[in-house]
Structure 1
Amino acid sequence: MASSFIIPSNLCSSIFSSRIRFPANLISGGNNNLRAVKRRRSKIVARSLDLPLLPFSMSEVLVPTESKKLHLYEARYLALLEESMKRKKNMFVHFILDPISISEKATEASFAARYGCLVLIENVERLEIGALVSIRGAGRVKISRFLGADPYLSGEVRPIQDRINYESSNEITSKISKLKDSIKNLNSLEIKLKAPEDSPLQTRLFNSLNWAEDEPPVECDESFFPSLQERLSFAAFQPVSGSTQSELSRLQQEKLKAMDMKDTIERLELSMGLIKENISSIAAKLAIQSLDIL
């Protein structure tokens, strides 16, 4: 995103003094009536929220509709969790700290806060050490003001949403219909790959698609919740079964592009290209799998 704020270098070292741990096994309706959409969008008045901020590296971009599980165990991050649950309607902001160069003479690293994603806490499992937290990306945000760093980062955030072009409604509807069909086809292929017997029959792609089609949570401020079309345009940016490291790296780059885009049609086209590549990849793996069986 073009806009970001700079976090002072003396705060960056404390932010990353110890890492948030991710368990290895966990790293892993476009036909709405146009008038109804217009009524919904006309009610939106961009405002701001003061929320806790949780930083991540550039390799861990989170997009709307995506789910993630975090193992939070440091006191400051557990304090962030309690604040989010008790006073922030189960919300905080997942954002990326991007190393930048202030000047050629700079001797210390500086960081820009980019790619903010408002997240909803879906589930918390208390552990002997810390908590396992399930989160879901809800919508993009701009961090407009840094508010504090003790005991955790906090800031003022504003919503970022796609530009609305009602004249393109029919084109968007058509592209969304094709995208949904392609995701369902890919899901059918994924579940045929060799996997443990207790593996779910719904992939992360299909779960994101289902979540995108749900109504916005009651407690979620409407101005921070993207339109149905925008939510669906993000659903494809999920890892597929058996992804290689190079495929996961490529996905991160596609997610960065998707977060920067302000046009739903452009993002839908990027999504379709990614899904087609994944279908070809899974089909090839299934062909190899069938040879092994024979």
Structure 2
Amino acid sequence: MSLHFSVLASGSTGNALYVGTEQTKLLVDAGLSGKAMESLFKDINRDIKEVSGILVTHEHSDHIKGLGVLARRYQVPIYANEKTWKAMNHLIGDIPTEQKFIFNMETTHQFGDLEVESFGVSHDAAEPMFYVFHHNGKKFVTITDTGYVSDRMKGIISNADMYIFESNHDVEMLRMGKYPWSIKRRILSDVGHVSNEDAALAMADVIGDKTQRIYLAHLSQDNNMKELAKMSVTQTLEGKGFEVGTQFALHHTDPQKPTDIVYV
């Protein structure tokens, strides 16, 4: 069984990603209730008891809501950097010391037959980071919750086989929407979230010959729509000379329904 994944849930209400190989099963974030997480695993016909570790990106509630429950219920190890541990300790309840592991930014850990590389992003959290998964020459990237994509990030994530890429908001919908200006300013800032257009511009710099699929993730339920995100990203990429749908495919994610299992 080759490297595979399912975006279990993606959006402002909760985020979780399953990544597996024949030997290793990992969960990235657990941003829904424990009950909801168990239901999502059933939806993809995977056993949550087989998860050998939960990797945490940052301490915001839409990424750790079910973390403590799952850790205690299934005795699963949790991996996060030191600043994230400090920021989330009081939010997830008591976790046995033997289940708490440090995975610092800009380091690589080996989980069975799966190599996982961490990298920092720009978000208003203690020390947010995301991950690149390597297995048998395949490269799979997840990157959301960042206000912009720096050249350093681009160098790390370039030419992956598949991406989960933030496409959070349409700028005009956000500006005209109901959010107070303080929230709008935060989202638009360098430590907020990337817009559809900015996401596409970053994608244009990292898509390579290997790239097969891109999943648009962490869409705002108030300031974006699936078809609008896909259209905006497609138009921007085609303006850069890419043949969307021919060179690679664009896919949606959903805040409540998992994607089908995808093999990299």
TM-score (norm 2): 0.32
Task: Tell which structure's C-alpha radius of gyration is larger.
Answer: 1
More helix by percentage: 1
TM-score (norm 1): 0.30
